[in-house]
Amino acid sequence: MVLVDLLPIFMFVALGVLLFTGFPVAFILGGVGLAFGFIGILVGEFAFVRFMLLPNRIFGGIMTNLILTAIPMFIFMGTMLEKSGIARDLLNCLQVLLRRVPGGLALAVTLMGTILAATTGIIGASVIMMSLLALPVMIERKYDHSLATGTIAASGTLGILIPPSIMLVIMADLLSRSVGNLFVAAVFPGLMLASFYVIYIVVRCWMNPKLAPRLDGMLGPQTGWGVFWMVIRSFVPPVILIGMVLGSILGGFATPTEAAGVGAFGALLLGFINLVVLPSVGVQEFSLEPTDHVFEAPKRSFWAELKSYYKTVATVVESTALTNAMIFGIFIGATLFSYVFRALGGDHLVIDLVNSLGLGAWGLLFLIMGIVFILGFFFDWIEITLIVLPVFAPIIAQMDFGDHVSKFEMTYWFAILLAVNLQTSFLTPPFGFALFYLKAVAPKSVKIQEIYAGIIPFVLLQLTGLALVMRFPEIALWLPRVLLD
């Protein structure tokens, strides 16, 4: 009977071992759930008829959940920005604007990561895009490899925290909480981390200018009109898109799902302007060359550019479909895993284990944050979220933190703490996915040891941000209080 009672623990052990095989996560989650469901049948702890409830949980829960409708539209929005060249132009614009600041190119990467985070939330696309666009330039400008790679990797991960974030949408669904409120709560913590990165880069480059030589003053437009046009073309469109998406949510004009639709339409429109309208009227592509001749490019055929735009949209749709299928496949596998886990008494086992430790509210919170941080060395954020959150969130919601956090705000505070903590999962070796993305496209001169050394300061900054949100909940909860009141 002791072994039967420990079946939920064996489920976690089996899941942890199989995740290292490299097999698709969705199949591992679902396979482990099915396997232990049949084991439960053999030992009399699980009735076969319970499997009949799974289709209703999947199609009646995941597939009909309107909150999750926002995910494919946010993915489409981010992919469209990448494929249409808007993100590339944004980075070039920021380089020019920050060319006289210490570590200007690294700061441009950080600001670009922040802006992309507020318009997409797709970490892989952001890191790969900035690695391809910025890393060769940073190496050419004699930037320290560790500083360059650490900046790109850390800035690219802001997308899972700064709204609109796919992770926050998933968390809201798992916690049965408002996506909009969770988005609002994540704004200040996300901007706080971005500010930490900026301060760190400026201070370090000021103390040691050899790490990041200043950019050439002859970079980009050389007149006021040229700089003005550069800002209008390359900086303003993403800002408008942020205003369309976040402004509609924060202002209460649209739900997050509706705002996702607005963002997807806005990305389509901006892509059409950038790929069809501007080339057809003879506007030059934005370049870092020292020129101000904006309207001297030969006009291109409108219909030829429209055909090219159609191919771009088709590529974006295909990429969105594949990414979306992967995410929802993991949802289905996680639903099966958590269903069997609870049916085998996993919830009661965890609660009994926590109560036996006698840690109290703060001790339990520190334990969970420590477990999540360690899991981040080995697993992706979506795996950690779908496994840890359903188990520990109900326990945390019952804890009493006194006047530090009210009962009503407890779940939102915990979700933001978890989101800040999961930032580290992209950067911590050996399985930090941002490091894999970066190394895959980095020049051969960049060594993996330099990438690992570069992320250490940023992981420490992320942990500092986690400690501050834990100590001062108002960082996450003040803005929701103001907007809700």
Alpha carbons 451 and 447: distance in angstroms, whole number:
7
Return all residues near 466 (Cβ < 8 A) that are at least 6 apart. 369, 417, 420, 421
Give mean pLDDT, residues 154-158: 86
Highest mean pLDDT among 250-259, 340-349, 474-483: 474-483
Q: Hey, is 230 helix, strand or coil?
A: helix
Picking from 113-117, 260-264, 313-317, 463-467, which range would have the lowest pLDDT averaged per residue? 113-117
Name the residue type at position 214: R
Q: How far is CA 416 from the centre of its chain?
A: 13
What local confidence, expressed as pLDDT, does residue 330 receive?
74
Using pLDDT thresholds of 50, 70 and 90, give the confidence band for residue 28: confident
Task: Return the axis-axis angle of helices 360-375 and 381-397, rounded to nearest 10°.
Answer: 170
Alpha carbons 229 and 338: distance in angstroms, whole number:
54
User: Above 90 in pLDDT, residue 113?
Assistant: no
DSSP 374-402: HHTTTS-HHHHHHHHHHHHHHHHHT---T
Return all residues near 471 (Cβ < 8 A) that are at least 6 apart. none
What local confidence, expressed as pLDDT, does residue 12 receive?
78
What separation in angstroms does the CA of 89 have from each of 92, 246, 264, 284, 310?
5, 22, 19, 12, 20
Alpha carbons 448 and 435: distance in angstroms, whole number:
8
Percent of the chain with pLDDT over 70: 86
Alpha helices in 84-122 (DSSP H): 86-97, 104-117
What local confidence, expressed as pLDDT, does residue 198 receive?
92
Residue 313, token pair as written in the block = 């949209």
Using pLDDT thresholds of 50, 70 and 90, give the confidence band for residue 304: confident
What local confidence, expressed as pLDDT, does residue 355 receive?
66
What local confidence, expressed as pLDDT, does residue 130 receive?
75
What local confidence, expressed as pLDDT, does residue 294 receive?
54
Q: What is the pLDDT of residues 353-389, one digit of tens each?
A: 766 766 777 888 888 888 888 888 867 777 788 777 8
CB 91 within 8 A of CB 109: yes
Using pLDDT thresholds of 50, 70 and 90, give the confidence band for residue 188: very high
Residue from 18, 247, 199 nearest 103 by CA: 199
pTM of the model as a whole: 0.78
3-state secondary structure 439-477: HHHCCCCCCHHHHHHHHHHHHHHHHHHHHHHHHCCHHHH
What local confidence, expressed as pLDDT, does residue 292 receive?
56
